[in-house]
Amino acid sequence: MERRHLLQVTAAALGATVLPAFAKPARAAGKIRIGLVAKSLGNGFFLAVDKGALEAAAAIGDVEVIFTGPTEPTADGQIAVIQSLIAQHVDAIAVSANDPDALVPICKRAMSRGIKVMSYDSAISPGGRIVHLADSSNALIGQTLDELAAAAAPGGVGKFAIVSATPTSTNQNAWIAAMKQDLPKYPGLDLVSVVYGNDLADDSYRQATGLLQKYPDLKVIVSPSSVGIVACAKAVEDAKLVGKVFVTGLGLPSECAGHVAAGSIKSFAIWNPIDLGYSVVEIAVDLVKGATGPGQSLPAGRMGNISFGADGVGVMAKPFVYDASNVRKFVKIF
Amino acid sequence: MLKSFFLRAPAVTGLSLLIIALLLSVSIAFPPFLDPVNLKSAFDDTALLMMMAVGEMFVLLTRSVDLSVAANAALTGMVVALFNAKHPGAGILPVLLISLVMGSALGAVNGLLVWKLRIPSIVVTLGTLSVFRGLVYIISGGAWVNSGQMSHAFLNLVRLPLLGINLLSWAGVLIAILAFLFLRYSLTGRNLYAAGNNPEAAAYAGIDVGRLQCVAFMLSGAIAGLSGYFWVARFGVAYTDVASGFELQVIAACVIGGVSISGGAGGVVGVILGALFLGIIKNALPVVGISPFFQLLISGLVITVAVALNSGTQRKTHGRHILESKKVTP
């Protein structure tokens, strides 16, 4: 207890510039306190993460979630916030990092005080965290996009095309490669073309219109770009092909809801922030309870077990699929 | 007047032939391109370019350039989208009014800086381009306005079918006709040519060159603002990158159409053909089966060739520019 007291004073002194840490009550015995740091406050995505975190905290019991973050999405702001969490002597800190490297020193300091530090959504570089929980992986995203294409094509049979962002966009290319790798599972699907809308609404719209002209029997357009998916949906609606051609891909519920209502999008996917917040708290509690992290498979309640590689990176799940039944619920979130 | 039209005619004829050749080669590579439904959609797409290029032409005629047209469209488009999302019941008239007034006000900012402070227009509009785009971020907070938040009337005005083509295409045609009449028959329109052709002589003739430049910027701004609304309604989304980089296509359409960058020469017919030429390329490239990696290069090459061909025919016919080499630049 003596050592802990000393640390508390040091940490408080460090944090004093940010927050009057002395005013905080001492840690209640047995209760696990987790600092959940957003990229910025007022961002709907992170409010949903907090919602999921509270769900996990209630399910586990004796867990307190301190949801916080800077007002602007900067690394400086997050450093100040983490300093104050150190001063409050939380048991674990989970951060969605605005900068992978800038946060490493402050997170190292937190870990040297015995606080379990992890990142989620946006990673901190390996030296600054024990584990990182990614929303999803390239392979899982590729698989999900194939599933969505198969679900959109009547009977899982027909031609489909991809409207990507730019030909050099790393993420998109990795996802498309994963789609192609997984495609043999769907013998009915025929990938006829990959075109590039450059993440611009007009270019994507034009490319989609070109696809509709070139392949009159096209069944599905997959766009793994949030700009692309809505532009393709608009192109299908304007070509009066709703019900004949379906658009799917990765998009945000608030941006796609109108097209789900119009019928051009049957279903689409993106990570589920509620599940993410839930998993973060489950994993953080595992770490506080003594799990070492890298190389382990850790239990995460209703999300099942999440395995972390030797590099400490774990993948939560496949992207979550949204359709007419649930999209309304998420529109206000992100 | 008739004589001047025929003097310009060879450039227009050359470009018309080029467009016909382009259409023919596209239809050989991909016959369904000439399907009326496809042509209608391509014309809708081109109408936006056409009207903004007509606006840009006014500015180019006065020896200025407006690089901020696309940013103006993005900002005005975002403002009307936010307005519509907040007041979906207000109908479409306020939206049209806001887009025109705000667009011309933004144009007036450019115009006044060029006129009163005598800053070169390329510098002014390079600055306001970033200012307008920056303002889109600030007023939207980086968030999108999506089609789900826009009212039915707001979205569907541009899609209103009228005598076979959509209202958006008609708007492009109407703006082109008005611009043609304005340049041909109004005193201000004629003076735009005079101010750009020889600013010093125009000043001696009692023409206020700066004021005309300001007028040209306001016209360009008003059309850009209106196009901003059309753009947002057509693509069903208002976001920070609306019409990103579009100013270059607008200027390219003018130059291909025979509008002189050094002012005083060019006409609406040429600009329309220039816009059609670019519009056909943009809509044909996705269907003719050229690798996406080559599309940018090819469209750039075709534009360069068109400009080279067109400026060649223009130089031969431009008897008026006998003092070109001694021309004083402002």
Q: Summarize pLDDT for B55-86 with one digit per residue, the tens.
A: 999 999 999 999 999 999 999 999 999 999 99
Side-chain-side CA neighbours of A107 within 13 Å: the count stands at 30
Among A209, A247, A322, A327, the strongest candidate for a mutation testing the B interface, having the largest count of B CBs within 10 A, is: A209
What's the confidence (pLDDT) of residue B313? 53
Residue B312: inside a domain: yes
Q: Which residues of A touch B287 (CB under 8 A)?
A: 210, 213-214
Tell me the CA distances in angstroms from B191 to B122, B177, B199, B217, one per residue in order.
Answer: 22, 18, 10, 15
Report which residue type is found at A66.
I
Name the residue of chain B whose CA is nearest to A197's CA. B292
Report which of residues A18 and B211 the model is more confident about. B211
Residues with Cβ within 8 Å of residue B147, at least 6 apart in sequence: A230, A234, A258, A259, A262, B155, B236, B237
CATH of the domain at B167: 1.10.3470
Q: Locate B229 and state its tokens.
A: 């609304």
* Minimal-distance CA residue of chain B relative to A235: B235
The pair phi, psi for residue B41, each rounded to 5°, is: -65, -40
pLDDT at residue B322, rounded to an integer:
41
Instruction: For residue B324, tell me if it sits in a domain.
Output: no
Of B224, A333, B68, A223, the C-alpha closest to B232 is: B224
DSSP output for A82-128: HHHHHHTT-SEEEE--SSTTTTHHHHHHHHHTT-EEEEESSPPPGGG
Residue with tokens 């979205």: B155
If asked whether residues A34 and A143 sit together in one domain, one would say no
Q: The domain containing residue B196 runs over which residues?
A: 9-316
Residues A110 and A49 in one domain: yes
**What average pLDDT does range B286-300 have in this prediction?**
80
Distance CA A268, CA B53 (A): 38
Q: Between chains, do B241 and A238 touch, taking CB under 8 Å as contact?
A: no
Same domain, A202 and A111: no
In-domain check, residue A321: no
Please answer yes or no on whether A214 and B41 come within 8 Å at the CB atom.
no
HSE at residue B116, side-chain half, CA atoms within 13 A, is 6
**Facing residue for B148 by CB, picked from A199, A214, A261:** A261
The total of structural domains in chain A comes to 2
Any domain includes A232 = yes
Residue B2 covered by a domain: no
User: Is residue A41 a part of any domain in this protein?
Assistant: yes
Range of the domain at A49: 2-135+273-316
Does B117 reside within a domain? Answer: yes
Best of A176, A195, A206 to substitute, by most chain B Cβ atoms within 10 angstroms, is: A206
Best residue of A200, A237, A254 to probe chain B, by most B CBs closer than 10 Å = A200
What mean pLDDT comes out for the span A126-153? 92
A214 to B33: CB separation less than 8 angstroms, yes or no: no
Same domain, A50 and A87: yes
Q: Is pLDDT at A1 greater than 50 in this prediction?
A: no
Query: Which residues from B are below 8 Å from A205, CB to CB?
Result: 235
Between B4 and B257, the more confident residue is B257
How far from A17 is each of A24, A27, A93, A103, CA to CA, in Å? 15, 21, 20, 18
pLDDT in tens, A264-314: 999 999 988 899 999 999 999 999 998 888 888 888 888 889 989 888 889
B32–A213 C-beta distance less than 8 A? yes
In a domain, A323, yes or no: no
A142 shares its domain with A246: yes
Give yes or no for residue A152 having a pLDDT over 90: yes
Residues A302, A258, single domain; the answer is: no
The whole-number pLDDT of residue A159 equals: 94
Q: Counting every residue, how long is chain A?
A: 334
Domain with residue A298: its CATH number is 3.40.50.2300
- Average of pLDDT values for B41-50? 92
**Section B274-298 average pLDDT:** 85
Judgement on whether residues A286 and A250 belong to the same structural domain of the protein: no
- Counting beta carbons within 10 angstroms of the beta carbon of residue B118, is it exposed (0 to 12), middle (13 to 18) or buried (19 or more)? exposed
First-to-last CA distance in chain B?
28
Contacts of B30 in chain A (CB under 8 A): 213-214
The pLDDT confidence band at residue A48, using thresholds 50, 70 and 90, is confident
pLDDT band at B310 (very low <50, low <70, confident <90, very high): low
If asked whether residues A229 and A172 sit together in one domain, one would say: yes
- Tell me, yes or no, whether A327 lies in a domain: no
Comparing alpha-carbon positions, the chain B residue that sits nearest to A260 is B148
Cβ neighbours of B237 in A, within 8 Å: 201, 227, 230-231, 234, 255
**Which tokens in the block code for residue B281?**
């390329």
pLDDT category, A199, cuts 50, 70, 90? confident
Q: Quick one: closest CA in A to B42, which residue?
A: A206
Same domain, A28 and A126: yes
Say whether pLDDT at A78 is over 70: yes
Q: How many domains does chain B have?
A: 1
